[in-house]
Amino acid sequence: MSRLGVALVQLAADQDIKANVDRAGALVRQAGERKPGLIALPEMFHYRGPLAGFRESATQLPGPLTEPFSELARDLNAWILLGSLAERSTDPLRPYNTSVLLDPAGQIAALYRKRHLFDVAIEDGPSDRESARITPGDSSVVATLEGVADEVDVRLGLSICFDLRFPELYRELTAGGAVVLAVPANFTEATGRDHWEVLLRARAIENGAFVIAPAQCGIGAGVPTHGRSMVVDPWGIVIAQAADGPGVVFADLDLERVIEVRRQLPTQPPR
- To which H or E segment does residue 266 belong? none
Which of the residues are catalytic? 43, 114, 161
- Cα–Cα distance measured from residue 220 to residue 215, given in angstroms and rounded to the nearest whole number: 12
| 4-43 burial: b if 16+ Cβ within 10 Å, else e | bbbbbbbbbbbeebeebbebbbebbeebbeeebbbbbbbb
- Cα–Cα distance measured from residue 214 to residue 249, given in angstroms and rounded to the nearest whole number: 9
Whether the Cβ atoms of residue 137 and residue 114 lie closer than 8 Å to each other = yes
Please state, as a whole number, how many other Cβ atoms lie within 10 Å of the Cβ of residue 142. 20
Whether the Cβ atoms of residue 217 and residue 10 lie closer than 8 Å to each other = yes
- Provide the β-strand partners of residue 251: 6
- Cα–Cα distance measured from residue 174 to residue 89, given in angstroms and rounded to the nearest whole number: 28
In a 3-state reduction of DSSP, which class is residue 210?
strand
212, with CB counted inside 10 A (0-12, 13-18, 19+), is buried
In a 3-state reduction of DSSP, which class is residue 61?
coil
CA atoms within 13 A on the CB side of 10: 25
In a 3-state reduction of DSSP, which class is residue 240?
strand
